[in-house]
Amino acid sequence: MSESNLIKPHGSGVLMPLLLSGQEKVDELKKAATLKKVVMSSRETGDLIMLGIGGFTPLKGFMGKDDWKSVCEEMKMTDGTFWPIPITLSNDEPIEAGMEICLISGETEEIMGTMKVTESYQIDKTFECEKVFATADNEHPGVKMVTAQKAWNIAGPVKVLSESYFPKEFEGIYQRPAESRKLFAEKGWRTIAALQLRNPMHRSHEYLAKIAIEVSDGLYIHQLVGKLKPGDIPADVRVKCINTLVKNYFNEDKVLMGGYPLDMRYAGPREGLLHGVFRQNFGCSHMIIGRDHAGVGDYYGPFDAQDAYHNLWEGALECKMLPIDWTFWDYGQGGMASMKTSPEKNKDQRLFLSGTKLRKLLSEGKLDEIPPEFSRPEVLEILKEYYASLEEKDKVEVKLHGHATGKAEVK
């Protein structure tokens, strides 16, 4: 099947990757070494790579002040293109418009790209946080990212020169939109549901994934391989868990896996919408939105992300939502169910599954308290091995939030 049968990239008929190659890359790298250096945070580096591979089509670079403000307030750029979260770059000082700069990863010290500065501007960080995260509480990990930004934002089009360590470290998982689209076309898929993952798949994830497969041509398990907050399970362990689960419990012909290089922002509803934007660029027609999508703590209601999708204006986003209700193990039925399928008489026989709750039990060594319905045994073994390898200093207290609690009266 031709790729023309897939959903079009967001805001454009074609992907717009900004990653250079060949002699053009060689020449730009040589020039970059002579330019003023701007060091990027991990989040900014991930955003640059997404610009490079076309994941952020149709953006051409980091946003200027008018686009920043419009995205914060109205979730669209000044040209009307839907965009839910600002993509910005910060610096200690303003840089003169017209100057070319070299963009450096603060993590690896590698030259990542160049940018021609169009403007420098200062922002009200509290305003951005309240609009994007619906809170200015500095305990929120996304708010911390914004408040840690430097004093000035600098804007302009970019040329991307590296994908950092992602292609090598996550070989076989890390993908560019052009690659996922090619694979979908080769499989003859038209409707593809994307499953966003930042945790290993527990039984609720597995259940909603299989629901999606039933109503789509295929499932794209799209894992975040960028940075997470302390206490979350690292990407390499998660990849191993998911590979094991898919191999043992899925029809592998109906599943493709990929990884993308962003840091998690934990922006709840707004991040759920951003997930839809770049999944459309990767070729997905649908985005699975379940309970507490992209949330953290008790900052968002369990279905705020679904509400955000429902409230979009016509034509904002072509990648449609696949909403799935609260899912759990129903002891009365002897299997997975949701609020839509579990009878009221079973309300006291529901085990609510949560990655946060599972991490807490594992981190505290309470292995005997993990119900077998939480996770497949093969996955649990991998997680137990990971937590057993942690030294005491590396352990982070996992706090339960309102959506991570749940109990069942039957064991």
Q: How does pLDDT run across 342-389, given as a tens digit for each residue?
A: 999 999 999 987 777 787 888 888 877 888 888 899 999 998 888 888
Query: Are 7 and 57 spatial neighbours (Cβ–Cβ below 8 Å)?
Result: no
Greater pLDDT, 202 or 99: 99
Instruction: List 335's β-bridge partners, or say none.
Output: 330
Burial of residue 134, with CB atoms counted within 10 A of its CB: 0-12 exposed, 13-18 middle, 19 or more buried:
middle
The rounded distance, in Å, linking the Cα atoms of 350 and 75 is: 38
| C-alpha 220 chain-centroid distance | 13
Long-range contact set of residues 357-360: C-beta below 8 Å, sequence gap at least 24? 357/400, 357/404, 357/405, 357/406, 358/202, 358/383, 359/199, 359/231, 359/232, 359/233, 359/398, 360/398, 360/399, 360/400, 360/404
Burial of residue 405, with CB atoms counted within 10 A of its CB: 0-12 exposed, 13-18 middle, 19 or more buried:
exposed
Q: Which of 158, 196, 209, 167 is nearest to 282 (CA)?
A: 196
Q: How does pLDDT run across 247-257, given as a tens digit for each residue?
A: 999 999 999 99
Long-range contact set of residues 67-70: C-beta below 8 Å, sequence gap at least 24? 67/155, 68/121, 68/123, 68/128, 68/153
Where in the sequence numbering do the catalytic residues fall? Answer: 198-199
Residue 409: is its pLDDT beyond 60?
Answer: no
Q: Note the helical H segments in 103-140.
A: 125-132
Greater pLDDT, 334 or 226: 334
What is the mean predicted confidence (pLDDT) over 194-217? 90
Angle between helices 235-249 and 377-389 (to 10 degrees): 160
Q: For residue 204, how many other CB atoms are within 10 A of its CB?
A: 24
- Per DSSP bridges, beta strands 100-105 and 36-40 are parallel
Q: Give the pLDDT of residue 404.
A: 46
Whole-number average pLDDT of the chain: 92
Instruction: Compute CA distances 307 → 14, 273, 276, 317, 328, whole Å.
Output: 29, 11, 14, 14, 21
Q: Give the pLDDT of residue 46.
A: 97
Which domains, ranges and CATH numbers included, belong to the chain?
Answer: 3-166 (3.10.400.10), 328-404 (3.40.50.620)
Q: How does pLDDT run across 156-205, given as a tens digit for each residue?
A: 999 999 999 999 999 989 999 999 999 999 999 999 999 998 777 889 88
